[in-house]
A = this chain, B = another copy of it.
């Protein structure tokens, strides 16, 4: 039985072992590695009805239906299903856990066959480009060449951009939501705070917490709290909580969670720890920090997308300060300059970066219009 932290990994994920070798950006080679994925709907005879969803930093392949660990609905359950925007009566929808993740794909919790112990920090550093290459190998394995639509928000959007850049003729329609082509200094800063919080926790044990039957609960919780604030907007925090007190009429003159916003954040932190691995958090945030397409390709974004035949939809949210609209506009200008068929919609919302996971009518109407055609 595998563990992470003290939790036995009871969940058996659907997975495929990729036999082909993959050379990572770091120079390391991996082969015989697992990719876990979920799918909905039926693939048609000519395999022309495939929708690929790329998940965000703390997302996973359990997009629709019940999540096997949290027992809550999947993160896009209202988007994926019969008669929904990604209609599983019509499309074969697939989502894979990124490499570096902790939901069954090759990641730092995977067992190193040589040592019989989890890789932990001996796991190689991965990049968004590596994630995309691994996804492409999964699709190859499944015999899927053309993708009718590839869609992702946040880090999922980065993967969408990177996939199209690598395979300019494989994706018919691409939707990149609330994302960027280059991770900003501010975002690196917040990720670094999260990593330092994890590594400051003595239960992190230099990364070896699984072998030592510990779990850096407090550190990972602080990391999540920090990230969570960046996913909301000042306005949404104000609207949702303001200075409202949590189950009391006056402040306690102490360090308990007096304010609802404190209580909410603590809950976000604590519940995250039960479903996510701390080392995966380190590796995936690092991959995001390293993401800078122009730096990686050594040319302007417009040059990178010069040969693509993909039709694009870019979506941003007015109150998203994690990936501000300006960064989406930069991508839109480059795609347009590259002669790409590109739609761009900025959704007016107070919900911040998280809007792509929330019930945002105009956003859904935008997706529906683009995909429905």
Measuring CB to CB, which residues of chain A are less than 8 angstroms from any residue of chain B?
25-27, 121, 124-125, 182-186, 188-190, 192-193, 195-197, 199-202, 218-219, 221-222, 225-226, 229, 234, 237-238, 240-243, 251, 253-255, 257-259, 261-262, 265-266, 269, 282, 286, 289-290, 292, 295, 321, 324
Check A255 against B282 for contact (C-beta < 8 Å): yes
What chain B residues lie within 8 Å of A200 (beta carbons)?
Answer: 197, 200-201, 218-219, 221-222
Residues B259 and A289 in contact, CB atoms below 8 Å apart = yes
Residues of chain B within 8 A (CB-CB) of A188 are: 243, 259, 261-262
**Pairwise interchain contact A25-B125, C-beta atoms closer than 8 A:** no
Identify the closest chain B residue to A216 (Cβ).
Answer: B200
Tell me whether B192 and A225 are in contact (CB under 8 A).
Answer: yes
A290: which B residues are within 8 A, CB to CB? 251
Which of A25, A125, A193, A282 has most B Cβ within 10 Å? A193
For the complex, what is the distance from the CA of A282 to the CA of B254, rounded to whole Å? 10
A189, B237: Cβ atoms closer than 8 Å: yes
* Interface contacts beyond A193-B226, A195-B255: sample of 7 additional A-B pairs, CB < 8 Å, sorted by A: A27-B253, A185-B240, A185-B243, A189-B229, A192-B225, A192-B259, A196-B225
A243 to B183, Cβ gap below 8 A?
Answer: yes
Task: Let me know if B265 and A189 touch, CB within 8 A.
Answer: yes
Interface class of chain A by DSSP: helix
| Contacting residues, chain B, for A25 (C-beta < 8 A) | 253
Q: How far is the CB of A8 from chain B (nearest CB, A)?
A: 25
Kindly provide the distance from the CB of A243 to the nearest chain B CB, expressed in whole angstroms: 6
Across-interface contacts of A241 in B (CB, < 8 A)? 185
Bound-state CA distance A253–B125 (Å) is 6
Question: Which residue in B125, B257, B295 is a CB contact (below 8 Å) of A254?
Answer: B125
Q: Closest chain B residue to A219 by CB distance? A: B200
Can you spell out 15 A-B residue pairs with CB atoms less than 8 angstroms apart?
A: A125-B254, A183-B243, A185-B240, A185-B243, A185-B261, A186-B229, A186-B238, A196-B218, A196-B221, A200-B219, A200-B221, A222-B222, A243-B292, A255-B286, A258-B289
Task: Enumerate chain B residues within 8 angstroms of A237, measured Cβ to Cβ.
Answer: 184-186, 189
Distance A188 CA – B241 CA, assembled complex (angstroms): 11
Q: Among B182, B189, B321, which residue has its beta carbon within 8 angstroms of that of A261?
A: B189
**Distance A221 CA – B200 CA, assembled complex (angstroms):** 10
A241 to B183, CA, bound (A): 13
- A262 nearest CB neighbor, chain B only: B192
B contact residues around A185 at 8 Å (CB)? 234, 237-238, 240-243, 259, 261
Chain B's nearest CB lies how many Å from the CB of A61? Answer: 26
Nearest B-chain residue to A194, judged by Cβ: B222
Report yes or no: B196 in contact with A238, Cβ–Cβ below 8 A: no
